[in-house]
Structure 1
Amino acid sequence: MKPIAKNGILLVIVAALAFGPLFLARNAEFAGADVQAGEAINTVAPDYEPWFNPFYEPASGEVETFLFALQAAIGSGIFFYFLGYSKGKFNASKKEQT
């Protein structure tokens, strides 16, 4: 099988895995982990009071989403930079041995 065909098949599989759950659960409520944890705590211990307050509360949900996406982008940038750096270093050492 040609590499382009393999890549196409992998792309279709990834797309199915990414978008399949959205079509299977059309009317499902997609709540965040914070909301679900808060509901679970209220169910288990209704008189619970938080002992910690965040030092920064974003102005809106959009700002919070932006900060989360920015954090993910910076983290993935750092991760993949070092991944590429180590791959380049490995290839350079492999080329020197030959």
Structure 2
Amino acid sequence: MSRNTRINLLLLLVVAALAVLPLALGLGDGKEEPFTGADAQAETAIAENAPQYEPWFSPLYEPPSGEIESALFSLQAAIGAGVLAYYFGLRRGRRQGEERARAAAAAPEAGGANDGGDAADMTSGVRPAGGE
């Protein structure tokens, strides 16, 4: 097994452990909803510390249920991941294209792949001496 394969498997195990362990161990604050978002926790802390606080604005759109809110959040995360994947794929493709261009530019200097014939002879239809 190559070194890269071992590293990838180790990273995969770490990600799986980070996803499964909190659920398996029941980590949370002991309240009825162990995994609440930061917004809900902030609202609770503000209500406890400053009960007279009035919000500056209200949300533009309030989803009808928590499931729809979770679906919209997941969609937002998926779109963001897609944009990042596209960007990194584009960068990698450009880098590989530059490497291929450099290799192609260096190939004629090293003898090329045209069996000793001149590039001008190959394009003009004139065969080099001894050619077929």
* TM category, shorter: 0.7 to 0.9
Unaligned 5+ segments in structure 2 are 29-33, 104-132
For 1:18, the equivalent position in structure 2 comes to: 19
Structure with the higher fraction of residues in helix conformation: 1
Rg larger in structure: 2
Aligned to 1:74: 79
> Which residue matches 2:95?
90
CA distance in 2, matches of 1:4, 1:76: 23
Q: Secondary structure at the match of 2:62?
A: coil
Give the TM-score normalised by structure 2: 0.65
Q: Look up the equivalent residue of 2:54 and give its one-letter code.
A: E
Q: Report the number of matched residues.
A: 97
Distance of 1:75 and 1:12 partners within structure 2: 24
Change (3 A) 1:97 1:61: same
Partner of 1:63: 68
What is the alpha-carbon distance in structure 2 between the residues aligned to residue 12 and residue 66 of structure 1?
A: 26
Q: Give, in angstroms, the shift of residue 27 of structure 1.
A: 5.6
Percent sequence identity over matched residues? 48
In the alignment, the residues of structure 2 paired with residue 27 and residue 21 of structure 1 have an alpha-carbon distance, to the nearest angstrom, of 5
Q: What is the letter of the counterpart of residue 78 of structure 2?
A: A
CA RMSD of aligned residues (A): 1.8
Q: TM-score, normalised by structure 1?
A: 0.84
